[in-house]
């Protein structure tokens, strides 16, 4: 696992624009080397702001969007099309504006889909999707995994000292009574996220500064889940000056 690197930007707007540029370049480089690329999307203001900046980037179409495999790190377990769903927001911010291949976009199930309102069934189904994309492994090696970080150190929908942070077997879990609304979610585990080549933790605002400091000081992942988000070759903490 890689050691955390830190890049600090003047403000949240510059972080979003610079991270969008970083993402476009990373996807182009991976596609040049391997033909396709895989990306894990996140919810939250910061993650969506980055996607919006990708949409308006002059370099956007340097990426062959038809050869990007798109996954989610977590999802708010709501009916399809609900405004609060990470998928809804990602489609509005970017995916509906670029020629992705629908067969290579893998949203987590909605609460009114085939799995009903059972987040555990939805999680098991997503684990099967991941295994189906992983040619023999349980989880693909994601090229880039975008993550946000909460004030108390959550990432994905993995919260401090929660059942999800103690999960060592499953790659995807249902989350209930989530401290951050909405309460029911589906989430990758930290173990699944660590299959990523690069993990980018995008964090803005003074309210996150304590969690950032604890994570970078080597806090235990049970108490500070974001501290356990490590990429195989790179772990990037992308901060604005307030979070730093």
Contacts with ligand 6PG by CB under 6 A lie at: 42-47, 74, 76, 86, 148-150, 154-157, 180
What's the Rg (C-alpha) of the chain?
A: 16
CB of 236 to ligand 6PG, least distance (A): 15
Closer residue to ligand 6PG in complex, CB, 28/216: 216
Closer residue to ligand 6PG in complex, CB, 44/231: 44
CB of 235 to ligand 6PG, least distance (A): 16
CB of 115 to ligand 6PG, least distance (A): 19
Closer residue to ligand 6PG in complex, CB, 38/203: 203
Closer residue to ligand 6PG in complex, CB, 7/28: 7
Residue with tokens 């990470």: 86
CB of 95 to ligand 6PG, least distance (A): 16
CB of 64 to ligand 6PG, least distance (A): 27
CB of 48 to ligand 6PG, least distance (A): 8
CB of 205 to ligand 6PG, least distance (A): 7
The Cα 88–Cα 96 span in angstroms is 10
Identify the sign of the CA torsion 81, 38, 73, 128.
Answer: positive
Question: Cβ-closest residue to ligand 6PG?
Answer: 148
Q: DSSP per residue over 158-208, as a string? A: B-TT-HHHH--S-SEEEE-S-SSSSS-EEEE-HHHHTT-SEEEEEE-SGGG
**Could you give phi then psi for residue 179, rounded to 5 degrees?**
-60, -25
Closer residue to ligand 6PG in complex, CB, 104/180: 180
The beta strand positions in the chain, using DSSP E, are: 4-9, 37-41, 68-72, 74-76, 105-106, 144-148, 172-175, 185-188, 198-203, 234-240
Report which of 27, 37, 98, 96 is spatially closest to residue 63, judged by C-alpha positions.
Answer: 27
Closer residue to ligand 6PG in complex, CB, 64/210: 210
To 10 degrees, what angle do helices 45-55 and 86-93 make?
20
Closer residue to ligand 6PG in complex, CB, 33/177: 177
On the CB side of 155, CA atoms within 13 Å amount to 35
């Amino acid at each position: 696992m890689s050691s955390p690197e830190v890049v600090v930007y003047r403000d949240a707007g510059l972080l979003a624009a610079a991270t969008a540029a970083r993402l476009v370049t990373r996807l182009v480089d991976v596609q040049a080397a391997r033909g396709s690329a895989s990306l894990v999307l996140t919810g939250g203001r910061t993650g969506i702001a980055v996607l919006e900046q990708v949409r308006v980037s002059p370099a956007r179409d340097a990426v062959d969007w038809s050869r990007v495999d798109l996954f989610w790190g977590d999802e708010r377990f709501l009916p399809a099309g609900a405004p609060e769903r990470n998928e809804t927001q990602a489609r509005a911010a970017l995916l509906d504006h670029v020629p992705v291949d629908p067969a290579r976009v893998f949203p987590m199930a909605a609460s009114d889909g085939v799995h009903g309102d059972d987040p555990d069934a939805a999680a098991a189904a997503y684990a099967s999707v991941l295994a189906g994309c992983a040619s023999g492994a349980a989880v693909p090696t994601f090229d880039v995994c975008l993550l946000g970080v909460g004030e108390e150190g959550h990432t994905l929908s993995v919260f401090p000292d929660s059942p999800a942070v103690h999960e060592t077997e499953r790659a995807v879990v249902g989350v209930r009574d989530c401290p951050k609304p909405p309460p029911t979610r589906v989430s990758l585990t930290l173990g699944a996220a660590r299959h990523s080549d690069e993990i980018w933790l995008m964090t803005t605002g003074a309210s996150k500064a304590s969690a950032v400091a604890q994570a970078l000081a080597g806090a235990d992942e049970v108490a500070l889940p974001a501290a356990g988000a490590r990429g195989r070759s790179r772990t990037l903490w992308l901060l604005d000056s307030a979070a730093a």
